[in-house]
Structure 1
Amino acid sequence: MICKAGLIIGALLALPAYAEMQALDDATLSTLNGQGGVYLSGELSINKDGGVLWNTPASNNPSTWTAGQRSCATAGASTPENCGMRIAIRAEAAGGWYVLDNLKGVFSFEGLTLRTRTINSGFNGDGTAFNQDVLEFGLPNEVKFKDGSFAFGVANQGGWQNKSLSAANGGNPSYQQTNIFSAKIDGSIRMQGNLLVFPTN
């Protein structure tokens, strides 16, 4: 979090010497408006050296893996590879799963903001009827990626399982996952705009 300490100190020095802090009653507080927010910068490393949920097997032949082994090497590779983090989301109670699989890399950002915002207009007239506060995430100006990678897919279960193993060995022959696309990212992405999070009853 970045605080403009110099501006705050300068403002305090400009106050008259006889000023002192006093408590405000409820009636006075109700007439005041305030605005606040958070400005964030940081760097995150996501499973840079592989995840902790699975051991890396000795080979890329799934039929030889134990229940706790998994390799995320590309098809046809001779050397196994550590797997990254997995995020699974189920949109419906009886539906399938969307997964971000083998998520790895380092990314940094500057200028991510978080504040509340009152929606009381716009949105084709719905804003006036809504008239409530929402969370507003201001997108960072630039996001930098280093050795980033992930795969996006659909699966019939949230947790990964080895379908090549028998059920007795902890496998699940009915497990299915189809990767729709995978990506490797190195470089920077410029971003603009914000994301609004609306409360629901």
Structure 2
Amino acid sequence: MIYKVLCIVPMIFTSTVYAEMQALDDATLSQFNGQGGVYLSGELSINKEGGVLWDTPASNNPGTWSANQRSCAAVNATSASDCGLRVAVRAEESGGWYVLDNIKGIFSFEGLTLRTRKINSGFGGDGASFNQDVLEFGLPNEIVFKNANFTFGVANQGGWRNKALSAAQGGDPSYQQTNIFSITIDGSTRVQGNILVFPSN
């Protein structure tokens, strides 16, 4: 009985391995309905060891830094700290800048989805007249943060400048940045919903 089982298994395996895949023509493909999309899981490490734009100085005193040095440690800290990513957005042509500064840490997620979605109803009646495809980002159920941090602030320039140095030293005494709040996250958070990206003419 054992011998018969061992003979049958290779026969099934062989027929599966040598099955031939064939391309479908357009007429055959048109008979199938499906929905496209992407399901993403991953881990992002953003400037975990500091960014590449500035060197970390030996001290935390801005007056002693050279033009290419910056510390993101607290003002009264005894030693300097490397800096993370900086993102600056200007809302108006003649306005100031909103900045996310010193972005560092590890962010992991599972279940971020990306697909197209047709909007032809809803939205207070505007969906029917819109009647177009949009991009839909489905938020993952859980995002895990490991030693993640960032600072939100406003500034008069998009790029960071050392106002403690003179213009001859490569600094900019007119530079101003006001930090509104700083966040450090080490844990997980749950999110729900999706983000729709509408095309514009």
TM-score by length of 2: 0.86
Q: Matches of residues 165-184 of structure 1 in structure 2 within 5 Å?
A: 165-184=165-184
* Residues 43, 22 of structure 1: alpha-carbon distance in 2 compared, 3 angstrom cutoff: closer
Percent sequence identity is 71
Structure 1 counterpart of 2:152, one-letter code: F
CA deviation after TM superposition for structure 1 residue 188, in Å: 0.3
What residue is the counterpart of 2:196 in the other structure?
A: 196
2 CA distance for matches of 1:20 and 1:112? Answer: 33
What residue is the counterpart of 2:123 in the other structure?
A: 123
2 CA distance for matches of 1:161 and 1:135? Answer: 37
What residue is the counterpart of 1:108 in the other structure?
A: 108
Alignment length (residue pairs): 183
Q: Secondary structure at the match of 2:124?
A: helix
What residue is the counterpart of 2:3 in the other structure?
A: none
Unaligned 5+ runs, structure 1: 1-12
2 CA distance for matches of 1:63 and 1:101? Answer: 20
Q: Secondary structure at the match of 1:129?
A: helix
What residue is the counterpart of 1:77 in the other structure?
A: 77
Q: Matches of residues 89-100 of structure 1 in structure 2 within 5 Å?
A: 89-100=89-100
1 CA distance for matches of 2:129 and 2:180? Answer: 40
Which of 8, 19, 26 is equivalent to 1:24? 26
Unaligned 5+ runs, structure 2: 1-15
Any idea what the Cα deviations from partners look like across 1:44-83, whole Å, max 9, x if unmatched? 1111111111011111111111100000001211110001
2 CA distance for matches of 1:33 and 1:93? Answer: 47
* Residues 171, 20 of structure 1: alpha-carbon distance in 2 compared, 3 angstrom cutoff: closer
CA deviation after TM superposition for structure 1 residue 24, in Å: 2.0
The reply to whether residue 59 of structure 1 matches residue 66 of structure 2 is no
CA deviation after TM superposition for structure 1 residue 32, in Å: 6.5
Higher Rg of the two aligned structures: 2
2 CA distance for matches of 1:21 and 1:168? Answer: 68
2 CA distance for matches of 1:175 and 1:72? Answer: 16
Q: Secondary structure at the match of 2:168?
A: helix
What residue is the counterpart of 2:5 in the other structure?
A: none
CA deviation after TM superposition for structure 1 residue 35, in Å: 1.3
TM-score by length of 1: 0.86
* Residues 104, 22 of structure 1: alpha-carbon distance in 2 compared, 3 angstrom cutoff: closer
User: Where has structure 1 moved over 3 Å in runs of 4 or more?
Assistant: 19-22, 31-34
CA deviation after TM superposition for structure 1 residue 90, in Å: 1.2
